[in-house]
Amino acid sequence: MLKRNSNIELLRILSMIMIILGHCNIYGNYDITNMNHFFNKFVIGNTYLGNLGVIIFVLTTGYFMIQKEIRIKKVILFELQVLFYSVGIYILFCVISISNFNLKEMIKCFFPIITKQYWFFSVYIIFYLFIPYVNKFILSLNKKDLNIYILMMIICFSIVPTFLSVDFLKNELLQFLLFYSLGAYVNINIDYFKNNKKIKYILLLCIIILLAYTSGLIFLSRYNANLLNKMFFLSYRSSILMIIIAVCLLSIFLSFKNFSSKIINNISSCVFGIYLIHDNPNVRVLLWNNIFNGSKFINSYFLILYMILSVLIIFMISLLIESIRKYTIEKFNIKCLDMISKQYYKIIEKK
């Protein structure tokens, strides 16, 4: 059985930084149409990395979980973690008068999955419950059938929706199935992906294509401003380019010499909490409209520095909050669940 190593944990941390940077790009009020500098447009066009971060996160889940079984305890802890931030942040914001109390909004906070308070969690937790059956299906395939399955998934849920704009094939659960299956495929063919020297050149080629595409659109937008609307065409979650980059990054991190770092592993265990904090619907408005409003930097030479500092500050503060929760609230939750579990098994043994 594969053991977690800090190589992949480091990649997960990187994926969360990408997600925050992507949110900074989307919500930070960086109006690209009002930017005067080519470089600033170039920065905005190439920092739309949230989708890449999502792909990597699900990809690494597939890599790890293909050889494991899901635990109900972990699912419950996931739900308790989301409820803590969903309900807790809303109550806190009402108490300190950032938000006005609304019963309907309060009820929504108690049902974060069905109300999609966090779209990623809603999709991820539902998909997580199907992992045992997805694993059985993937592991039952021979090498030829597995290759055909992966190829069909890529064609149907990446290539076709990307280039033909077929909306009904862009379902988020199907995308997660694709990313998870690719992570599992890397695990099953680990030697090929770890030792393939061509992968770094493929990654470099994909990055060059992405940069060239962005630069070309910015240049051509001088003659047709509407072209800027297609700036992020290659950065969507269904983009074959993003998927190739994600698989290449996973392969490259796997090729590094395995090492174990308690600090990296602890930070990695907090990345989901970091997402829940900074992308909370209430926090999101406060962060990007008030604290890190980037509109005043759209024509500043310090734009990229401002974005980097914004992302790092959000990451570090969220990490601190989640670390405190993890070593207090979560420890208490684990003790309670262990007690309930013991009592349950005692009852079963008696019967």
156-189: pLDDT as tens digits: 889 888 777 666 667 889 999 999 999 999 999 9
Residue 282 pLDDT exceeds 60: yes
CB contact set of 344 (below 8 Å; sequence gap of 6+): none
**String of DSSP letters for 171-207:** -HHHHHHHHHHHHHHHHHTHHHHHH-TTHHHHHHHHH
Residue 141 pLDDT exceeds 50: yes
Residue 274 pLDDT exceeds 90: yes
Instruction: Give the tokens for residue 310.
Output: 């914004």
- The CA distances from residue 169 to 166, 212, 298, in Å, are 6, 28, 35
Higher pLDDT pick, 350 / 120: 120
Nearest to 226 by CA among 33, 19, 14: 33
Record the pTM: 0.92
pLDDT at 75: 87
CB contact set of 106 (below 8 Å; sequence gap of 6+): 87, 90
227-263: pLDDT as tens digits: 877 888 888 888 999 999 999 999 999 999 888 889 9
pLDDT-based confidence at 328, cuts 50/70/90? very high
Least confident of 5-9, 145-149, 168-172, 252-256: 168-172
pLDDT at 4: 63
Q: Average of pLDDT values for 12-30? A: 92
Burial class of 42 by CB neighbour count within 10 A (0 to 12, 13 to 18, 19+):
middle
- The CA distances from residue 339 to 69, 70, 263, 342, 346, in Å, are 22, 20, 29, 5, 11
C-alpha distance across the termini of the chain, in Å? 35
Residue 1 pLDDT exceeds 90: no
96-133: pLDDT as tens digits: 988 888 888 888 889 988 888 899 988 999 999 999 99
254: number of CA atoms within 13 Å, CB side?
25
Compute the mean pLDDT over every residue in the chain, rounded to the nearest whole number: 89
Residue 2 pLDDT exceeds 70: no
Token look-up 């509407």 returns 226
Amino acid found at 220: L
Nearest to 172 by CA among 327, 325, 54: 54
- The CA distances from residue 173 to 76, 126, 188, 330, in Å, are 21, 8, 22, 28
Instruction: Give the tokens for residue 90.
Output: 């809303």
Residue 3 pLDDT exceeds 60: no
Q: In angstroms, rounded to a whole number, what is the distance separating the alpha carbons of residues 243 and 251?
A: 12
Q: In angstroms, rounded to a whole number, what is the distance separating the alpha carbons of residues 10 and 28?
A: 26
How many CB atoms within 10 Å of residue 321?
17
pLDDT at 167: 62
